[in-house]
Amino acid sequence: MSTYDIKRGVSLYSYQEEYFLRQKSLEDLIKVSAEMGAKGIELISEQTFPGYPNPLAPSVYDNWHALMAKYGTTPVCHDFMLDYKKYKDRPMPFEEQVASCKVDIDHAARLGCPYTRALVSIEPNVLVACADYAESRNVRLLIEVHAPLHFDHPWIIRHAEAFEKSGSDYLGFLPDMGMFLFAFPPVWKEKFMRDGVPQHIADYICKAYEDRVLSEYVILEVEKMGGVGPAIGMATALRHNAAFEPKRMLDHMDRIWNVHAKFYEMTEDLVEPSIPYDEIIRVLKQGGYKGYICSEYEGNRWIQDAFPVDSIEQVRRQQEMFKKLIGEPQAAVSAA
């Protein structure tokens, strides 16, 4: 097995509920992350810094670095957007797309982030055009491989080929573990049922997903069962999710520098019911992965209609799971 160095981090996106509702401040969230031992910090700047991507005051960056120093955390990745649909009557010109990406590269450099996350929809030629500039700022551009796409999808293959042809070491991948959705998430099922999906239809859809039935057949069957509205919506979710194999990361490990640990629910016994993190960590170890695996909680939107959201507790549970799977000493993580 290759030598690996898997480090734990968190995307501040995980805490979107508490941050949006102003229940927690930026400092609060960095502090609790550090207390969990999740020392790598990833962020979406549009969510974190009011006014971004407009220019930010130097004090914003000073405060960011002060927080990193205070809590012993490390900036990992700035997740950037590209507003290529900015104009209603025409696409954003290529040169303008490149210029926009360079703004985010500069921002990542000022934050101290060695990586930027590029949306999966960005054309490979835009990223290739930015590679030399990214290298000059010592910031790598990572295209997010996100469900329903995967490493064998033609769009991702285009990126892989373009990256290799460029010869640049500053272009790579950021796989989102949501593409390895081995079971229909229980919190999804429960939300669809609260929205009116009958029990027998919900059970059928979950079993069909487990049996890897083609999504179009599932949708047709649900229609035959009398499903309407939310039931069709639940069946349609199968179009956008799949159980791809974690081992497919191995062929691209030399360009994987950050990982999004997507999850929808962590149970009290530290299990994510739908994503096989034991196998994912095994593959990362086998591939000699050296980098952060950053928690990315997206369960809030599936429970907020009926239950209080405690994103911090959910992230804490995932971090404890990672600690066990990676093989860290138990005493390193404390409850938030």
Q: What is the mean pLDDT of each run of 10 residues along the chain (336 residues)?
A: 90 97 98 98 96 96 98 98 89 95 98 97 97 98 97 97 98 98 98 98 98 97 98 97 95 98 98 98 98 98 97 98 88 40
Residues 167 and 299 in one domain: yes
Residues 64 and 150 in one domain: yes
pLDDT at 84: 84
Residues 167 and 204 in one domain: no
Which residue range is the domain that position 50 belongs to? 5-182+243-335
Residues 329 and 223 in one domain: no
Residues 74 and 171 in one domain: yes
Paired sense of beta strands 74-80 and 115-118, if any: parallel
Residues 248 and 199 in one domain: no
**Total domains in the fold of the chain:** 2
Residues 190 and 175 in one domain: no
Give, to the nearest 10 degrees, the angle between helix 186-194 and helix 199-210.
150
| CATH number of the domain residue 315 falls in | 3.20.20.150
pLDDT at 336: 39
Residues 27 and 48 in one domain: yes
Question: What six digits make up the tokens of 330?
Answer: 């138990």
pTM value?
0.94
pLDDT at 118: 97
- Which of residues 202, 236, 270 is at a domain's end? 236
Residue 70 · residue 28 · CB < 8 Å: no
Which residues, at least 6 apart from 60, have a Cβ–Cβ distance to it below 8 Å?
49
Residues 302 and 215 in one domain: no
Paired sense of beta strands 290-297 and 258-263, if any: parallel
Residues 164 and 22 in one domain: yes
Phi-psi domain of 56 (left: phi exceeds 0; alpha: psi -120 through 50; beta: other): beta
Residues 138 and 213 in one domain: no
**Burial class of residue 142, CB neighbours in 10 A (0-12, 13-18, 19+):** buried
Residues 158 and 73 in one domain: yes
- Which of residues 199, 214, 236 is at a domain's end? 236
pLDDT at 236: 97
Q: Where are the beta strands (DSSP E) in the chain?
A: 5-11, 40-44, 74-80, 115-118, 140-145, 171-175, 258-263, 290-297
